[in-house]
C-alpha cells in the first residue's frame, strides 16, 4: 500500500494523471476559495440588510415626525418621563433627569422635556414593519419633546424660556440574528411654534389673516393633474400611460401635450390616495411621458422623463428647440386664499432612478417661483426665489460621493433649499420646476416618480400660515 501511494493515478501502464497528494491539495485550495467566496457573499448580504434597515427606519422616523406635526400644539408633549439608558447606542443615553440632549455627538445642548400625563403622547413604542411594507424590521420608536428659548426674540415679545417646542423622533431597530453587535439608531428633529392667528396687514387681523392656527410647515404634493384655471384643483385618477403634459403655459391653457403650451401640473394639499392598501400592486405605476421620442430601449420607463437641456447650466426656460416642453416640468398651487408667508426654507422630497437602471451621473435643477397672472387670456409673470448663499435662482441636486444617480429601485431623495423670507400674496401661486443640467448628466433624461401612494413626491414649506384643508 505504501508503495502504491507514490504512483500516479491513471490507466494501467501509464504515468499520466494526479497523485493522491495533488488531489488533496487541490481539494483544500478549492475549499479555502469557496469559504472566502461565501464569506464575501455573507458580508455583502449583511451590508445590504443593514442599508435596507437604515432606509426603513429613516422613512419611519420621518413619517412619525410628520404625524406629530398634525397634533395640536397644546397636546404636543410626552405623557411620561422618558427612560434613561446606559447604552450609548440607545437615544435614552441622552436623557438626563428631566432634560434631553439635542446634540448627539458631542452630547450636549440639554433642553427641558415637555411632560403632560393627560394630553401627551407615549415617549416610546414598539414597531414591526411587515415584509410588504417595511421589509420585516422590528424595533423601538422614541419620541422626545423639549422647550426651547429663542435668543433672537426679546423678552418683551417672548417672555420666559418656553418660546417654542422641538420634537425629536428616534428609531432603533432590533439587532438582527446575523449581526454580532448592537444596532444604532436614526433620528429626525423639527421645531414648532405656538399657534396664534396671524395678523392682517392692519396689525389687528383682517381679510389677509388665515382662517386657522399657524403651523411651521405646509406640505404640497406633486400631482399628475393639470392645475385648474380658478378655484380648487381636483386630483384626476391616473388610469393608464399618457403623453407628456406640456407645462409651459398657464392654468387657463388647459391640458395640452406636444409643443402646445399647456397648464402646469398641480401642487395639491393632500397626498396621493391608496385605493387598495392591502394590495401592493394597486395602483400600478404609469408612464407620464409616453411620447415616442421619450421611450428608452427596452421600454421600461415610468413617471416623467425630464430631458437634459441643450446647453450647460440650469435654465428655467429651456434652451432646446426640439420638444423644449420635455426639458422643464412645472407644478403650481391653486391661487392663495390669503398671504402665504414663507419662512425661508423649502425641502423637496422626490423619488428617482436611472433610465433602464443604467449607470450614469446626473444633476437635477430645482426652481421655486411665485406666479401672478393678469390679462385676458391670463399672462403669467414668474418671480424666481433666489438661493440664500449666492443669489442664484435655482438649486442643484447631485448625489454625494461618485455622483452616480440612484439605480435599481425608486430612491427617495431630499434637497433642502434656503432663501430670504418671501410672501406669496393673495391670488398668487407658488410653483416648483425641475430641469436637468447637461454637463453633469451623462444620459438623455432623468425619471421622476410622483402622485403614487408609494412615491409621494412633495415639497415641505416652512410657513406660519397654513392653508385650509391641509
Question: What are the contacts of 251-254 at 24+ separation with CB within 8 A?
Answer: 251/226, 251/227, 251/332, 251/373, 251/378, 252/373, 252/377, 252/378, 254/226, 254/229
Per-residue pLDDT tens over the stretch 285-335? 999 999 999 998 888 899 999 999 999 999 999 999 999 999 999 999 999
- For the CA atoms of 204, 210, 213, 214, the dihedral, rounded to the nearest 10 degrees, stands at -90
Query: What pTM value is reported for the model?
Result: 0.61
Q: Tell me the residue length of the chain.
A: 470
Q: 348 near 414, Cβ under 8 Å?
A: yes
Instruction: Please indicate, yes or no, whether residues 315 and 173 belong to a single structural domain of this protein.
Output: no
Is 210 domain-assigned? Answer: no
Q: Is residue 326 part of a domain?
A: yes
Establish if 121 belongs to a structural domain: yes
List Cα–Cα distances, 214 to 148, 157, 195, 268, in angstroms: 18, 17, 5, 19
Q: Sorting pLDDT into bands at 50, 70 and 90, what band is 179?
A: low
For the cut 80, the answer to whether the pLDDT of residue 80 exceeds it is yes
CA neighbor of 373 nearest in space, from 333, 421, 327, 325: 333
Rounded to the nearest angstrom, the gap between the alpha carbon of residue 147 and the centroid of all alpha carbons in its chain is 27
Grid coordinates of 76: 404636543
211 belongs to a structural domain: no
Co-location of 186 and 236 in the same domain = no
Asked if residue 286 and residue 432 are part of one domain, the reply reads yes
Residues 340 and 239 in one domain: yes
Q: Are 120 and 68 spatial neighbours (Cβ–Cβ below 8 Å)? A: no
Express each pLDDT in 411-437 by its tens digit: 999 999 999 999 999 999 999 999 999
Same domain, 349 and 402: yes
Indicate if 292 and 367 belong to the same structural domain. Answer: yes
Question: For the residues 160-164, what does the mean pLDDT come to?
Answer: 83
The answer to the question of residue 347 being in a domain is: yes
Same domain, 180 and 266: no
Question: Per the structure, how many domains does the chain have?
Answer: 2
Instruction: Pick the last residue of a domain from 193, 225, 251.
Output: 193
Q: 39 pLDDT exceeds 90? A: no
Residue 56 in domain = yes
CA distance 115 to 50: 34
Backbone angles phi, psi at 333, to 5 degrees: -80, 170
- 361 located within any domain: yes
394 and 447 in a common domain = yes
How far is 148 from 66, CA to CA, in rounded Å? Answer: 20
In this structure, the answer to whether residues 246 and 157 fall within a common structural domain is no
Q: Which of 351, 376, 350, 362 is nearest to 432 (CA)?
A: 350
Q: CB–CB of 84/73 below 8 Å?
A: no
Confidence of residue 400 (pLDDT cuts 50, 70, 90): confident
What is the domain-level CATH number for residue 226?
Answer: 2.60.120
Yes or no: say if 330 and 267 are a contact pair by the CB < 8 Å rule.
no
Binning the chain into helix, strand and coil, the percentages to the nearest 5 are 15, 30, 50
pLDDT at 77 over 60: yes
Domain residues for the domain of 418 are 217-463
Instruction: Tell me how far apart the alpha carbons of residues 305 and 181 are, in angstroms, rounded to a whole number.
Output: 43
Radius of gyration of the chain (CA): 28
Q: pLDDT: is 13 or 55 the higher one?
A: 55
185 lies in the same domain as 223: no
Query: Contact, 292 vs 224, CB < 8 A?
Result: no
Pair 221, 157 in one domain: no
pLDDT at 144: 95
Q: Are 457 and 203 in contact (CB under 8 A)?
A: no
Question: For residue 91, what pLDDT is reported?
Answer: 92
Same domain, 176 and 222: no
Note whether residue 94 is domain-resident: yes
Alpha helices in 371-457 (DSSP H): none
- Classified as helix, coil or strand, 74 is helix
What is the C-alpha separation between 113 and 168, in angstroms, rounded? 11
Amino acid at each position: 500500500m505504501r508503495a502504491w501511494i507514490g504512483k500516479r493515478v491513471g490507466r494501467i501502464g501509464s504515468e499520466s494523471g494526479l497523485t493522491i497528494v495533488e488531489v488533496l491539495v487541490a481539494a483544500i485550495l478549492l475549499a479555502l476559495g469557496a469559504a472566502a467566496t461565501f464569506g464575501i457573499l455573507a458580508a455583502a448580504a449583511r451590508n445590504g440588510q443593514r442599508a435596507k434597515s437604515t432606509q426603513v427606519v429613516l422613512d419611519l422616523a420621518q413619517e412619525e415626525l410628520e404625524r406629530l406635526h398634525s397634533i395640536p400644539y397644546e397636546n404636543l408633549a410626552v405623557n411620561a418621563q422618558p427612560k434613561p439608558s446606559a447604552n450609548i447606542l440607545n437615544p435614552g443615553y441622552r436623557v438626563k433627569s428631566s432634560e434631553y440632549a439635542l446634540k448627539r455627538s458631542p452630547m450636549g445642548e440639554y433642553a427641558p422635556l415637555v411632560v403632560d400625563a393627560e394630553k401627551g403622547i407615549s415617549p416610546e413604542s414598539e414597531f414591526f414593519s411587515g415584509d410588504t411594507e417595511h421589509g420585516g424590521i422590528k424595533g423601538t420608536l422614541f419620541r422626545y419633546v423639549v422647550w426651547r428659548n429663542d435668543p433672537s426674540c426679546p423678552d418683551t415679545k417672548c417672555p420666559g424660556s418656553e418660546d417654542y417646542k422641538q420634537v425629536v423622533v428616534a428609531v432603533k431597530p432590533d439587532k438582527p440574528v446575523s449581526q454580532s453587535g448592537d444596532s444604532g439608531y436614526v433620528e429626525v428633529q423639527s421645531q414648532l411654534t405656538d399657534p396664534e392667528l396671524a395678523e392682517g396687514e392692519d396689525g389687528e387681523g383682517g381679510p389677509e389673516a388665515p382662517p386657522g392656527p399657524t403651523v411651521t410647515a405646509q406640505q404640497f404634493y406633486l400631482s399628475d393633474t393639470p392645475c385648474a384655471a380658478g378655484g380648487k384643483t381636483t386630483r384626476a385618477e391616473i388610469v393608464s400611460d399618457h403623453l407628456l403634459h406640456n407645462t409651459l403655459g398657464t392654468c387657463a391653457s388647459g391640458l395640452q401635450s406636444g409643443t402646445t403650451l399647456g397648464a402646469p401640473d398641480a401642487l395639491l394639499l393632500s397626498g396621493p390616495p391608496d385605493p387598495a392598501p392591502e394590495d401592493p400592486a394597486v395602483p400600478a405605476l404609469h408612464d407620464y411621458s409616453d411620447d415616442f421620442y421619450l421611450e428608452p430601449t427596452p421600454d421600461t420607463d415610468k413617471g416623467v422623463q425630464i430631458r437634459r437641456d441643450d446647453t450647460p447650466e440650469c435654465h428655467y426656460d429651456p434652451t432646446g428647440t426640439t420638444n423644449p416642453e420635455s426639458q422643464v416640468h412645472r407644478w403650481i398651487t391653486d391661487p392663495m386664499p390669503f398671504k402665504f408667508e414663507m419662512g425661508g426654507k423649502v425641502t423637496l422630497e422626490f423619488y428617482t432612478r436611472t433610465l433602464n437602471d443604467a449607470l450614469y451621473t446626473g444633476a437635477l435643477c430645482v426652481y421655486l417661483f411665485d406666479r401672478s397672472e393678469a390679462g385676458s387670456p391670463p399672462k403669467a409673470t414668474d418671480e424666481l426665489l433666489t438661493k440664500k448663499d449666492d443669489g442664484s435662482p435655482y438649486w442643484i441636486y447631485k448625489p454625494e460621493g461618485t455622483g452616480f444617480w440612484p439605480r435599481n429601485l425608486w430612491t427617495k431623495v431630499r434637497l433642502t433649499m434656503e432663501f430670504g423670507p418671501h410672501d406669496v400674496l393673495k391670488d398668487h401661486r407658488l410653483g416648483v420646476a425641475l430641469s436637468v443640467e447637461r454637463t453633469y448628466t451623462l444620459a438623455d433624461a432623468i425619471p421622476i416618480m410622483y402622485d403614487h401612494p408609494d412615491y409621494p413626491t412633495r415639497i415641505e414649506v416652512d410657513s406660519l400660515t397654513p392653508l385650509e384643508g391641509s
